[in-house]
Structure 1
Amino acid sequence: MSKKNIIIIAAVGVLVLALVGGGFFMMWKKLSTIDKIKEEVTAAAAPKVEQPPSIGPLFALESFIVNLADPGGKRYLRVTMNLELRDGKVNEAITQRLPQVRDCILMVLPTRKVDDLQSIEGKNALREELITKLNQLLGAGSVTKIYFTEFVIQ
């Protein structure tokens, strides 16, 4: 083979390698652009996960057992609850005024009838009334929520 043929074959080989390399480069750029678009679409379509609201300090109360206001007085309620408080200062106030807190709750519970407490609406109404009464005693916004941990009607 002549020197001229070797130079032509080498030039064609370099040209082919340059074209193949350029083709791979263009494909790589296109695929990376497609991946970016997929990530953007996925991020936009994904539902935003909201953080659950933080829970305040809890104060656990002992069980209450009271007669209900039904005719004959043969039905009673046993309930245990936790009070969610605004902050730790309220926890101290409840500890100091625990007899008053228990009295406040004991004045509300016996006024209910079985029919009132068997529905979710009745339990929520009881919860709201207790929160209102306790906040009157401890200061507005002191008790933010009440969680019933035991609720037995017999």
Structure 2
Amino acid sequence: MAAKPPAPAAPDAAPAKPKSKKLLLIILAAVVAVVLVGVAILVALMMFQPAAEELDADGQPVVQLAAPAAPPTFMPLENMVVNLADPGAMRFAQIGISVQLADSATADRLTAFMPAIRNGMLRLASQRTAAELLTPAGKDALAADMLGMIRQTTGLPDQGTTPSPVQAVLFTSLIVQ
């Protein structure tokens, strides 16, 4: 068997033009750029989207508080009984207090000043009336006055941007009669 020679090309058919590789590369680069921009936007939205809130049994969002760097030290003081400044009546209060401190070294410093601190607390409480101590604002004012007195007595006041290591005066009990 003899092989047939190839058929001659039709004279009216135009020869095929080679496709431009530049156009193909430009289209491919544009598609890659659009995909990359889309991925970048998606990542940015996921990063800045707030985390889904956990809900408790009632359907309320659960609030998670950040843990303090170091837990404070609490120094309980002995209960005090003080006569109140009520005119025309003999009223007194029994007060239990804990002092919140930044660290145990501050507790040692307070122990050294304890007689002066207790004296100042008794004097501040005895200037109040029963009506004052029965209101939240009155309790807050007494606690603030006691905190200032402790800071002044121990020489540990707030110093500009450095907070005092004596952080708060907390009532553990307060009975007014």
Which TM-score bucket, shorter chain as reference? 0.5 to 0.7
**1:106-121 map, 5 Å:** 106-121=122-137
Does 2:155 match 1:143? no
Bigger drift between 86-95 and 122-131 goes to 86-95
Q: State the Cα distance separating 1:101 from its structure 2 match.
A: 1.0
| Structure 2 SS opposite 1:83 | strand
Structure 1: runs of 5 or more not aligned: 1-39
Q: State the Cα distance separating 1:55 from its structure 2 match.
A: 3.9
* Matched letter for residue 82 of structure 1: S
CA distance in 1: counterparts of 2:126 and 2:165, whole angstroms: 24
Computed over aligned residues only, the root mean square deviation of the Cα atoms, in angstroms, reads 2.1
* Matched letter for residue 174 of structure 2: F
Structure 1 moving runs of 4+ over 3 Å: 52-55
Structure 2: runs of 5 or more not aligned: 1-45, 55-62, 158-163
Does 2:71 match 1:49? no
CA distance in 2: counterparts of 1:55 and 1:133, whole angstroms: 24
Bigger drift between 84-93 and 74-83 goes to 84-93
CA distance in 2: counterparts of 1:92 and 1:79, whole angstroms: 22
| Structure 2 SS opposite 1:116 | helix
Q: Which has the higher contact order (CA 8 A, sep 6+)?
A: 1
How many residues are aligned here? 114
Using the size of structure 1 for normalisation, the TM-score is 0.67
Q: State the Cα distance separating 1:142 from its structure 2 match.
A: 3.4
* Matched letter for residue 53 of structure 2: A
Using the size of structure 2 for normalisation, the TM-score is 0.59
Tell me which protein shows more helix as a share of its residues. 1
Cα deviation code 1:88-113 (max 9, x no counterpart): 11111111121111111111010001
